[in-house]
Structures are given as C-alpha cells and as structure tokens.
Structure 1
Amino acid sequence: MIINISLAWLQLARQKARFLVAATGIAFIAVMMFIQVGFQDALYTSATQLHNHLKGDLFIISTQYQSLTFNQSFPRWYLYQILGCDGIESVNPLYMQFAKLKNLNNGIKFPIFILGFEPDKSILDLPIIQQSHSLLQLPNIVLFDSKSRSQFGPISQEFEEEKTVILEIFNYTSSIGYKVKVGGLFSLGPSFGVDGNLIVSASTFFQIFQGRSVQNVDIGIINLKPDANPQRVLASLTANLPKDVIVITRQDFINLEKNYWTVRAPIGFVFQLMVTMVFIVGVVVVYQILYSNISSHLAEYATLKAMGFKNKYLLIVVFQQSLILAFFGYIPGLAISIALYDVAQDFTNLPISMSLDKAALVLFFIVLMCLASGFISTKKLRNVDPANFF
C-alpha cells in the first residue's frame, strides 16, 4: 500500500502545473458546493427563526397555512374555546402582515413584516422583548429589527445615537401613512421572503391595518401547564377544534415551513438543482483530469502489467490519486468558502456560517465525486494490453 500511495503521488506531482490546475479545479467545485449548501441552509434557518423564538408548547394555524409570509387567518374565538381544556395554561394570538416602511432618507417605501401581539403577554423569547414589553403598551411605539436590510435607512444607527426616530408605515390599501416612534431594537434577521421586521402591540397593529378585523388571528400560541402531557393535549385539541385549523408541535411547525421552501417555493428547487449540477460538472472535470493523467502514463501502466501487477493494483493507484486530488482541492475550497460566507453574511444579513456538518457534507460529496470520476476513468486502464507497447 505504501508503494501504491508513493506511485499515485509521484505521478501527480511529476507535472506540477497540471497538478496545480487539477487542484484548483476541484477547489472551485468545492467552493460552488459550499455556496449552494450554505445558502440552502440559510434559507431554512432564516425562514424558521420566528418559529424558534415563539414562547409556546403548541401552535394553532389555519389548514390553509403555507408560510409565514402568507396571510392565513382563523377566527379568534377558537382560542377562547380551548382555554378551559385540561393542561392549558394560556393561549395568545399573534398577528402578522406586510406593510411598507418609508426610508428616512430617500422616501422610497419598502416591504416590512409586522408582528403584533398583546404586550402584557410576552410571546417571544428575545431578551429585548422581556425588557421593553412596557414600552409596547404605549400607543404608536414599535421595536425595529436591527438586522433588517439596509434599504430601510439608518434606523438602528440613529436610535443608538439617542435620536428620536419617527417612522411612517403604509399598508397596501391606503396611500396615507401611519407614524410611529421607535422605542427599541431587537435582533431577529431577514429571510428570503422578509427584508425586515417590526414588533408592535396589537392595538398599534390594528391602527396600521385599519381594514383588518381583530377577530382574524394568524397563529395561536398555546402554553401548557408544567404537568401537562403535550401529546395528550394535542390529541384532545385535534379532536375538538373545527377542521379548518390544526394544532401542531414546534418541530412540526418548523418542518411545515421548511417543506414549503423546499417543495413549493421555486428557490428550494433551484438550490437542489444547482447542487446536483455542480456535482455532475465536478465528476466530468475530475474525470478529464484523471483520464489525461492515465493516458500520459499508459506505457508505464503497461510495463507494470507486463511485470505481473494485476489490474486491482493499478486501479488502486488511480483511486488513490482521486483521494489525493480531493484532499488538495477541498482544503483551499474550505478556506475560501469560510471567507465568502463572512462576506455573504455581511452583505445579506442572512445566517450564513460554516459549521462542522456543512464541512463534512461537502467533503463527502467531493470524495464521492472524485471516486466516481476515478471509476469511470479506469475503463481505459483495465483494457490496456502490454503487447501493444512491446
């Protein structure tokens, strides 16, 4: 085996320029895979950030629910209906809707996602919400997401400089803006469907959206008593609530959101298609590299065959070359991708970061890609006949 590794390495290292080009090509493929996997993970992570921060054990949503970015309401009286059920401690409504926020500098209006709830009942586990719930009880006070994208203007900077920040919000059915004051900042972040977030009290929410009824709830948040059995309560509510709503756990709620972005939203399909295409292109690139290397050393392989070495020995050499190329391409690809992740995160405010599972997944794909290419490229080697050379 030591001889095999030496032979595999010496063949690759003999032509340094070709080896460098080969490693660079695989590094490029690795970077492309990392970019696709990173953005795909950011898609799911950003889309479910709110789900992870909701303070609840179970959740009521409409059967028409597709994603947070769609309005799918149900009657509020459903929440009152379940208050007396065994094991339930409290039930709180959450209202959500898009509006347009006017940029402080240029006057352009951009869509922003608004979350409204009763401020005396904290339904988010964000630290600022715990500290600022009394502020939200004041009329026309909002909390602004400091991770919102830059098109909304320097709202966070001006608030941190202790300036009075007045925002003007427009709903989609009126040309008249509604003015509110920023009372604090929180950190949630945008997603592929949301550029920024505002948190308001329920009363302020319905001042902004005057055409909307307080009786239409988007999400019902259920908190259970400490001794309650979640599955038993879930089964009881499912049996007794009307069929136009469903009760689900947090994980099922998260999975439902991910499923929308994976299956129903075009961007999920695009990411999966791009990963597949990058893998196929990588197989072709590495195949060309290995095939060229085999062709240039075909006489040497024929000599080894004439000396009594079996096909198995020669194939192992090629597979080891595949693994060497995978290693020397993956390492720089990983280093470049870490830097690109930082740039992408700063530019998009999406949660794009390197993790052990991403690094392991791309390494697996790179190794598999190189081994597949090695297997395809050995066809010519298996058929080589020493008699044709001597």
Structure 2
Amino acid sequence: MDPKEIRQLFPILNQEVNGNPLVYLDSAASSQKPIQVIEAVNDYYRTYNSNVHRGVHTLGTKATDAYEGAREKVRKFIHATSTEEIVFTRGTTTAINLVASSYGRANVSDGDEIVLTPMEHHSNIIPWQQVAKATGATLKYIPLQEDGTITLEDVRKTITNQTKIVAISHVSNVLGTINPIKEITDIAHERGAVTVVDGAQSTPHMKVDMQELNCDFFAFSGHKMCAPTGIGVLYGKKALLEKMEPIEFGGEMIDFVGLYESTWKELPWKFEGGTPIIAAAIGLGEAIDFLEEIGMNNIEKHEHELTEYALERVSQIEGITIYGPKKRAGLMTFNLEDVHPHDLATVVDQEGIAIRAGHHCAQPLMKWLNVSATARASFYLYNTKEDVDSLADALVKTKEYFGNVF
C-alpha cells in the first residue's frame, strides 16, 4: 500500500490548517472518511432514501437490501457465524451498555464478580459500575505491569469461580497495549464467565476473527474505521443474544403488539427498536469494502512500521516521556516536561498538526500513570513518515517556545 496515494482518497486531508498542510494524527478518536464512503451515503439520500423493512415499494426494497447487505459485510469482516449475531448500534458505548443492561443485570447477582482492567475506556467501566450497584456484585481489576500490559498469571489470579463477566479492551486507547483476548477468554470460560470485548481500537487496524477470539460479545464503532459517525456493532454469540431481553421498545423490534402484551422479532432486529441508522450502516458497509480492498494485514503492517519510527524519532527529544509497552498498536501517548498537554496540542495545531490531549476517557489509567492528562498521536492507513517528522519538528519547536517563555 502507498499511504500517499491513499491519502488522496480522503478529501478532508487535502487542505491547509493555519497555513500548513494538514497532518491528521487523531484517528484513535475518529478516522477520516474516503470519498467512496461519502459518495455511498450521498447516493442513499439522493436516490433511494426510504425506511427499511416496512415498505414493499421500490425505494424501500433497495434501502432494505443495502442496509441488510451492510450487516452481511460486517459478518464476513469479523468472521461471525450468522448475521443474527450482528446488532447495529450507535457505537461501542451503546453496544457495551446494551450488554450490561440486558445480559449483565439478568445474570449477575449479589456476591458475583465483574472483572475489568485499569486501562479501560470509561465506556467499559461505568456500565459495569452501574450493574454492580444494581446487583450487589463486586468489581475487580486485573493489575497492570509497569509497562501497561497484563500477564496471564494475573488474569488467572483475578478471575475466579465467582466471576460472571470479564470486560476488557482489545487495544488500549491510551497505551496501545494489545491484550491477549483469546487466552483471556479461555481462562474466563474455564471459570464459567463470559467475555465482553471493547474492540473500538482494534477493529479498524487489524484483522479480528470472532471464531479465533471466541469472545462472547465484541463491540466496535464505525467512525474509527472510515465509516460515518453514529453507527456501531455489537457482536454476540447467538445462544446468548437469544436469551437476552431488549432494552429499547417500539417500532421495528416487535412481532405482535396487543393492548396488554407484546412479543419481539427474532434476532438481530429485536435489539434495533425504531428507525435504524440506515445511511451510516450503508456507509459502514462501503468502508469495509474499502478497508478489505487495501487489506487489513497491509494496514496493520504499515501502522506497525510507522509507530516504531515515531517511537524512535520522538523518544530522542529531551524531556519527552512516552507511555506504554514497546509492542503496541498504532498510537503514541506522551508528555513533554513542564508543558501541559493542552498547551502542547494548541501549539502543534498552529503547525497544522492535529493530536489529542486530555485524559482520553481513561481517568483511572491517568491516575495509575500519575498524571492528569497526556498528549496522543494516533496513526492510520493515510499517515506517512513525513507526518511523524512534522510532529517531531513541532514538538521541538514547542519545547523551544516554552523554554523561552519560562
């Protein structure tokens, strides 16, 4: 793959910001969209905008075919067994909340345990806090090693026969840590627990296979993988989804409604109440086509090389602290001595470089790192080594600027 050629397919990247060519290094927050995705969404609204499932007219049929066609693309992309296991949601947050509110509250009780890690995004902590409060369950955390990884020995020590749910990120959005989901799932299953995996930071960047990982639930968002905002996916094993009750009620998800009783549609539609996110789902399907044409293995290889280069280049700058393990996904979280991350991000923005600054919705991890905030540069298929060089040069300028100020 040639990232310079790929970059040309993203209209937003061909612009200047503050008089400099845009260097977008914030894809872990939200990726940019290729022209194919933009045109697919535009085509839906321009030529066959209609609700799905309900109508038998031509536009309705075409919209339904495109919407359900996107579901099949998702199934194949993550190697699920059936489209019945693919539930469209608003994003990773909604997907995890669905599992917590439906499966969690029905299957967790007083004295049970829910196991997490301190590296989780708030979206994979707060829902489980609420389940614990409602049921009397206990939250437990697998400890982190000094480099921000976890060991399988600690996993075995933390997960017990009282553990009902293990909720864990596939890839940390701060440290870039890649967790061994298959091995963790095996341990959880041995103890009778189910696994809920936050795949928001892995699915856009590497091949994910539900048969290989064998996790029970897996959630991810479209907007981080070249698709529109407002669309996400919950994968769940069919046997578990069938036993779960919906948490939203209304149109689309019903089979029969009487004055006093109602019944639900079959999977996956019983979890998709109301008019679904049709255009964004179609855009997600187009994004999957785009990513598969490039090749997920090619994307992962490119990001690995780029991240290694970034770690080597930026670590040479005096006063820089980089957080996380040596082996990581395509992001780099760091601080510059005596410069607040928000100030740092503001200064490099003047050079046309977009990075993230803050707690990254991971305040427990910030506390573990003993910092209030960090800066984060995250890479994707359209980034180049020249982008990394621009960032490194901007960091040197930032260091010089604040050195002169103080």
TM tier, smaller: under 0.3
Which structure is larger by alpha-carbon Rg, 1 or 2? 1
TM-score (ref. length: structure 2)? 0.23
Q: Which has the higher contact order (CA 8 A, sep 6+)?
A: 1
TM-score (ref. length: structure 1)? 0.24
